[in-house]
Chains A and B, each alone.
Chain A
Amino acid sequence: MNEKKTNTSSERSILVMDAAAIRRALRRIAHEIVERNPDLQQIVLAGIPSRGNEIARRIADTISAIEKVSVPVGTIDVAMHRDDVGTRTELPVVRASTLPLPLEKRAVIIVDDVLFTGRTVRAAMDAITSFGRPAKIQLAVLIDRGHRELPIRADYVGKNLPTAPDEKVRLRLGEEESTEGVWLVKQ
């Protein structure tokens, strides 16, 4: 988080979403979630640390503003569910997951910042099902940058961003709106 925006000669970053665009995208996602889930009492937003948590909180705030219901926000840790631990030289930090239980009648909506290969979402689904068997699982992301390696798609997308595999998507969310944004970084 809070990656420095570097402007070295070999790197070029283009602003693709500013704070207002992020706010509008999340508000639209909130409306779509309301539209597609008639029983709002049964939904839970599960953020993937750390930016997924922040995005999930913002969506939950918007839903409670428009529908006057409070939506629980949980955390779903994917580090201990990854399938590439052993092949990495650096270990992902594991965190505790928190979800309201039981899940059986709930719709769990996974929330993450950027959807790329789909492997994180696969791990998140594994983590969720280890808590129980939710009625359904949906996926909300701020950015879908393509290049899936698994048969996974998002139900709610803030922005579809065509990218090349070697490009990076940089996201900054913070207290101050003026510093927020999404950038596409070309090498």
Chain B
Amino acid sequence: MTTRWSRKDLLGLRELSVDEINLVLDTADAFKQVGTREIKKVPALRGKTLVNFFVEPSTRTRTSFELAAFRLSADVINISAATSSLSKGETLKDTAKILEANHVDIIVLRHGSAGAAQFLAERVRSSVINAGDGAHEHPTQGLLDTYTIREKKKRIEGLNVAIIGDILFSRVARSNIFALTKLGARVTLVGPSTLLPRDFEKLGVTISYDIDEVLPTADVVNLLRIQHERQRKEYFPGIGEYIKLFGLTKERAKLLKPDCLIMHPGPINRGVEIDSELADGNQSVILDQVTNGLAVRMAVLYLCGGIAA
């Protein structure tokens, strides 16, 4: 590991080099081990303050960042849209400047608009970690998915990874595509044509509208949540039809290789993207993703927040 981390912020995976991605994954390996200790806490970020600034609701990502910060001995406060002055009309930039004036070192931002994290990062000295910006990127999810695949399969290069579902509105899909293609995986996107425009081919992936054709050769299937909150009627065929055409049912799962990993970023719509029993089955690594998310977020906070401002 000779790569040096020189980024104040983590805004997306598109701009990261292969070495930088590997550095985060290797650093996460070291931090994952901390979770097995009797005292699951190290002083690496002692004295640093982190703000979880979640303008869009989230429980798992926010909790994961909060736990990651605790385990690094940073102090954490949580701000949600409802409790912040954003609801009184304060701009994002002003709220961020207020946080900075309070000597906050790291801002973890979840926001409904693509580019919000970058907007902020350019305007404050604090580190900004993108925890999801609209349909743009969700870098720590992309990293933890990549980490989980690498942990289980011992490699990324040459693997067939199918990302299935609501691609158009998915920041998780985008971050996964950037990380996995950089590391040499063959990524195939599968979904209804309304949610999977041909444009995505420009990112170096294959596009398919037939799930049954993709499943037999997949080493990993990553099922995305149908984002009901972002859908408009005309994009979506209806739940029954979606399950019939793209849902991972028990019947369809028989097409999978026995060692194919089943992933889902959560929260799961049980019985829609994935059959409930499959989500809890022995091919599922959904809970490993959660555990690894903590280690990956510790690594990201350590790398971005650790160097002197």
B302 within 8 A of A: yes
B59, CB-defined interface residue at 8 Å: no
- Taking CB atoms and an 8 Å cut-off, the chain A residues in 111-141 that contact chain B are 126-127, 129-132
Q: Tell me the residues in window 157-183 of chain A with beta carbons closer than 8 Å to chain B beta carbons.
A: none
Give Cα distance in the complex from A122 to B246, angstroms: 56
Measured between alpha carbons, how far is A97 from B34 in the docked complex, in Å?
A: 8
Q: Specify the main secondary structure of chain B where it touches its partner.
A: loop
With an 8 Å Cβ cutoff, the count of chain B residues facing the other chain is: 28
Cross-chain contact of A91 among B37, B46, B72, B303 (Cβ < 8 A): B303
Q: Is A11 among interface residues, defined by CB-CB distance under 8 A?
A: no
Those 5 A-B pairs whose CB atoms lie nearest each other, nearest first:
A96-B33, A130-B39, A94-B30, A80-B42, A80-B44
Residues of B within 8 A of A (CB): 1, 4-5, 27, 29-34, 37-48, 72, 302-303, 306-308
Most buried by A among B37, B40, B303: B37
* Closest A residue by C-beta to B29: A96
Total interface residues in chain A, CB < 8 Å: 25
Find out whether the CB atom of B307 lies under 8 angstroms from the CB atom of A91. Answer: yes
Q: Are A85 and B44 neighbours in the complex by a CB distance under 8 Å?
A: yes
**In the complex, number of A-B residue pairs with CB atoms less than 8 Å apart:** 70
Which A residues are within 8 Å of any B CB, using their own CB? 77, 79-83, 85-91, 93-98, 126-127, 129-132
Q: Identify B34's interface contact among A80, A83, A85, A98, CB under 8 A.
A: A80
What is the minimal beta-carbon distance from B9 to any residue of chain A, in angstroms?
15
Contact B308 A89 (CB under 8 A): yes
List chain B residues, Cβ under 8 A from A88: 306-308
**B4/A86 in contact, CB under 8 A:** no
- Provide the bound-state CA to CA distance between A98 and B5, in Å: 25
